Amino acid sequence: MITFTPEQEEFRKSVARFVDTEVAPAAQALDERGEFPAALMRRIGELGWLGLRYPEKYGGADADMTTYCLLAEELARGSLSVAAAAGMQSLMGTHFIYTYGDDALRERYLVPALRGELVATFAMTEPNAGSDVANLATRAERRGDRWVLRGTKTWVTNAPVADVLTVAAKTSGERGMKNIALFLLDRRTMRGITLGKPIDKMAVRASATGEILLDDVEVPHAYLLGGEQGGAEKIGGILAEIRIMTAALSVGLARAAYEAALAYSRERVAFGKPIGEHQAIGFKLADMLAGIHAAALMTYQAAGRLDAGRPVAREAAMAKLVASETAVKVTDEAARIFASYGLAMEYPVQRYFRDARFLLPGGGTSEILRLVIGRELDWDRGTAFC
């Protein structure tokens, strides 16, 4: 059973109103133009929602993961592109600055990022290193009181518009994950940071994605976040949050597709009655709704475990696996209910269908997640189902 506090219920209603009045009406045009939602990002920052998970002294709200998931779910219901950009800004793009940066870095970068005044991102993936973190090729060499970085990052969310980047790089040439470090780069002031070509995607088209080319970028030692080693563990430290957030995004997108299909099934008449009254369509809608409920239960159970300080690696992986696969299935069924109109750009169901594919790799592919879950099997501990 999912229970929310009165404050959480009010928060969801506030975000839902914002989504209905400002996000959803802009979603179609943003997608068609492939335009980064700069104005909406500033609004989300002004509302204080980019800082939900951070202390009040930095403009945050000290909110828990459950509240953060409510934000992610509702934003995704209106536009997965907007939700993805906000998720990168409010979690991966700022987490390492807050956790490992000094007060000067927090004031210079974290505070304005949480206000939506600059765009932050996290760059780890490379052309030959995605899930295989040990294969990172980006190098960082110590030269006096500075580090020099060179390498290529790809599939970086917010890259074409990012002001600051947290970059994963190796501090030695040894293969493995021990020698990975995290560096904060300021694209506005540091030379050698070049934008590669933007990646033209079929999904989340308004969430800008691209390459970052690093050519002998000099980085002050103070911008090394958390030491010369242990970057893989630092990244792993927020994987559960990333996966739970992605599960919430999946639930929000699935809800949007279901609601669109339900409304259409009541309007479209065939053989003398609305198509939703035909068993073939009614069964589809029933399965869609049941899948969304199951995904939501798993998502908020995982969030609740994280908030309670309980082990959550397995539950986060399961929630992300089930929720993202459910979003793909629900958006596919929604497009089938629309039939030929599911192909028409005038209906948002085609966007939901496309956007669902974005959810599969983020936080780990379904195949990687199954590996994680398999390693966490423990039927003897008595808590396998709670």
What is the CATH number for 45?
1.10.540.10
Instruction: Tell me whether residue 384 is in a domain.
Output: no
Is the CB of residue 237 less than 8 Å from the CB of residue 346?
no
Q: What is the mean pLDDT of residues 168-195?
A: 90
Q: 34 with 84, same domain?
A: yes
Provide the β-strand partners of residue 126: 129
State CA 380 to chain mean position distance. 33
Q: 265 with 291, same domain?
A: yes
CATH number of the domain where residue 196 is located:
2.40.110.10
Q: Of the residues 119, 143, 173, which one is the last residue of a structural domain?
A: 119
Q: 215 with 147, same domain?
A: yes
The pLDDT score that the predictor gives to residue 386 is 56
The pLDDT score that the predictor gives to residue 381 is 54
pLDDT, tens digit, 9 for 90 and up, residues 367-378: 999 999 998 776
- The letter for the amino acid at 294 is A
pLDDT, tens digit, 9 for 90 and up, residues 234-276: 988 999 999 999 999 999 999 999 999 999 999 999 999 999 9
Query: CA-CA distance, 194 to 339, in Å (whole number)?
Result: 44
Burial class (CB in 10 A: 0-12, 13-18, 19+), 382: exposed
Q: 134 with 37, same domain?
A: no
Instruction: Tell me whether residue 182 is in a domain.
Output: yes
Give ∠ CA 114-119-121 in degrees, rounded to 5. Answer: 100
Domain that holds residue 148: 121-229
Q: 316 with 344, same domain?
A: yes
Instruction: Tell me whether residue 381 is in a domain.
Output: no
Provide the β-strand partners of residue 273: 270
CATH number of the domain where residue 250 is located:
1.20.140.10
Phi-psi region of 259 (alpha: psi -120 to 50; beta: other; left: phi over 0): alpha
Instruction: Using pLDDT thresholds of 50, 70 and 90, give the confidence band for residue 338.
Output: very high
Q: Of the residues 176, 210, 229, which one is the last residue of a structural domain?
A: 229
Torsion angle in degrees (nearest 10) through CA of 351, 354, 358, 361 = 160
Residue 228 confidence (pLDDT) above 90: no
Q: 92 with 211, same domain?
A: no
Instruction: Tell me whether residue 48 is in a domain.
Output: yes
Please tell me the total count of domains within the chain: 3
Higher pLDDT, 376 or 290: 290
